[in-house]
Structure 1
């Protein structure tokens, strides 16, 4: 039988060095909060209870996380005094089961992987396991002190370490997997008799050794998994590290980047073969690219699905759109939420489309607004056409049939239906339905005045 697993996330720090009114764990990395990164990783494990210890800005943290994770249940525990990591875990004891194991994580250490945490849990065979790392410069970090047989016997903090202990290069990440029974036993016994006058969580290691428990240490695959964030510089550095990792994974999958250092992926991106991504493209949320997609510079793509062989020209904004195969977009096009572009359609420069479906092979080439519309197949929408979908109170639908031709600078006042193969004359304001194969125009008759004299300055 699998032992129940709890997760304790310490998220009470103010983050003074951030110089922000926002709690540190709500600062963003790759498009989501530091705490959300940790929670998303934990969601990949089988977790029976997640306990979040909050402090500064606790109401703000609770509100944002609760609104974001509507299908999840968290236990919130307040740490009203900042008395060290040992105290932060201790305040969870009244909510922590007496049996099972607990992963102890940090809301400002966002990039620890699911694979590492699973390995850490599996390594806990005698009551305690911990994540450590051997580094070239361990200054400022807790050292892992081992006995002559290589067994862990203590963790020594920088300010409490002797000269010999400061030469140790194996450091403590602060991430543990501990039997709950041991946490209930050891945490009430912690003392703040140290240089910092804080309750060190690391002291439970010495207590476990005294009880004859063998502590297993594992190292993460990537150094960045244990990197914490305390200031803007560290946040920016970790952002770049993460972006390099994501881009490298995509390159291994066959994606070509014009410059791997000039792209941002703030969410998840999956891509087919022979995809090209130019400089300064930003992906947000969950995005999918088919095979042979070509994206030129400066595009922003959010929560979109883009089919095979699409060509996206520079500086397009695509938000929650579903794009078929062989579609040509831009430059400077704006696809707003609930836009559907069918196969082989075309959306040109300075076109905005919102909550509309553009049929197969249809074209909206220049300077147009299409909103709340259904456009059939083989339709040509001329330059400057708009669907007048809003009367100041309600949004109404425009329906354009197959193979219709909408002349330049026409205004289609919704609700209105344009029939199959109908033609709308340029400059028309159409307020009534147009039958199939009909020509409709609605504009003032042209008047010419010969020998017209222009006004002159007085």
Structure 2
């Protein structure tokens, strides 16, 4: 967590609670840092649904009311497990469920655990809380009652969307939370002109950018810092991670692409795998059962089917025949293959790297290419065919005699 925050939000100050001794104790651990602030927003780490709009609203209510504490209450369908917000004779207090009476448990308003405090009053009240309760912990909720009794001003704001205060305490709640966030992300994209055939089966990460007029099929997963250009199509069961797709790209289903870039009009799949910083340039085609690793495929080049291209560069308009393999690994090191523009690589060609094919060169089907091929040349590297006439007839005759 510290590494993630440092990478994405380097200005964040991290204060560690080494001993898990309650929510009040957690805030006390940040006491030295909090003293520099006039107000502080406190949010539990397990309420992932809270939106920035709701957080902003609570802060605005707090500043306007001039209360020492402003916090969200909410009305869950089932309040079991939540502390209750009790208002009696003008005073406000929060009672944790384990410490609540039967009457207090019937209160329908639950505590969200989301607060804004005036820092000075918060730090003073923290000095007065104790661990004399069912869990033997220092509750932050006790601060609310202390402030209310002192007349410092406590304001309860009802959260409109109760789901925003839902916590995560087990795998079932984690799955439910993930679904809510997923739906929120998909709704944003659909309002911006992205079409999903079946949104209930699709996952799109929060950092993903998708342009308008994009069609996305069922069971698609898009992760990381991926970007999908306008008018592109992503077929079903495709998985993309950190992929940059230009405009009008066509992913034809069951493709797995990571850490790579596809330029405008590129087409991939079905059943293709592209990875490790590969580039597929304008109008190029990567077809069925093809793997591309750390390679650059030139504009309008074609690798239609059943090939492995690794540590290679392929020029413009080159055609790679079925079954072609760049033999890039010698058991110790990886080696590079360079194929020029307008080349024709025959089916089942083995390109033993390091090797270079010049522009407009050809290789014969079934060749094992171990030497560079000059520009405009045909390379054939295979055993010469020999026809033995009458062999089949003699074989049958010998079999009959035995």
Larger Rg: 2
Corresponding residue number in structure 1 for 2:43: 105
1:90 maps to 2:28: yes
Gaps of 5+ in 1: 1-60
Corresponding residue number in structure 2 for 1:116: 54
Q: Is the 8 A contact 1:131 1:217 kept in 2?
A: yes
TM-score, normalised to structure 1's length?
Answer: 0.78
Instruction: Give the 3-state SS of the residue equivalent to 1:396 in structure 2.
Output: coil
Q: Is the 8 A contact 2:185 2:205 kept in 1?
A: no
Alignment of 1:170-319 (within 5 A): 170-220=109-159, 222-319=161-258
1:168 maps to 2:123: no
Residue correspondences, number: 394
Corresponding residue number in structure 1 for 2:323: 384
Distance 1:424 1:305, change over 3 A: same
Instruction: Give the 3-state SS of the residue equivalent to 1:154 in structure 2.
Output: strand
- Given the alignment, which residue of 82, 103, 119 partners 1:141? 82
Distance of 1:251 and 1:237 partners within structure 2? 21
Corresponding residue number in structure 2 for 1:440: 379
Distance 1:266 1:390, change over 3 A: same
State the 4+ residue runs in structure 1 displaced beyond 6 angstroms: 454-458
Corresponding residue number in structure 2 for 1:34: none
The C-alpha deviation readout for 1:306-365, integer Å capped at 9, x for no partner, is 122222122110111111122221111000121111111100011000111111111000
- Given the alignment, which residue of 36, 52, 69 partners 1:128? 69
Shift of 1:136: 4.0
Shift of 1:187: 1.1
Corresponding residue number in structure 2 for 1:49: none
- Given the alignment, which residue of 402, 408, 413 partners 2:347? 408
Q: Is the 8 A contact 2:201 2:220 kept in 1?
A: yes
Q: Is the 8 A contact 1:79 1:88 kept in 2?
A: no
Distance of 1:95 and 1:274 partners within structure 2? 47
- Given the alignment, which residue of 282, 285, 309 partners 1:343? 282
Shift of 1:132: 2.3
Alignment of 1:26-37 (within 5 A): none
The C-alpha deviation readout for 1:216-243, integer Å capped at 9, x for no partner, is 4445564333221111111112122222
Q: Is the 8 A contact 2:275 2:293 kept in 1?
A: yes
Distance of 2:365 and 2:349 partners within structure 1? 6
- Given the alignment, which residue of 299, 310, 320 partners 1:360? 299
Root-mean-square deviation (Å)? 2.7
Distance 1:66 1:141, change over 3 A: closer
Distance 1:309 1:445, change over 3 A: same
- Given the alignment, which residue of 356, 360, 369 partners 2:308? 369
Alignment of 1:52-67 (within 5 A): 65=4
Distance of 2:30 and 2:5 partners within structure 1? 19
Distance 1:408 1:319, change over 3 A: same
Instruction: Give the 3-state SS of the residue equivalent to 1:378 in structure 2.
Output: coil
Instruction: Give the 3-state SS of the residue equivalent to 2:58 in structure 1.
Output: helix
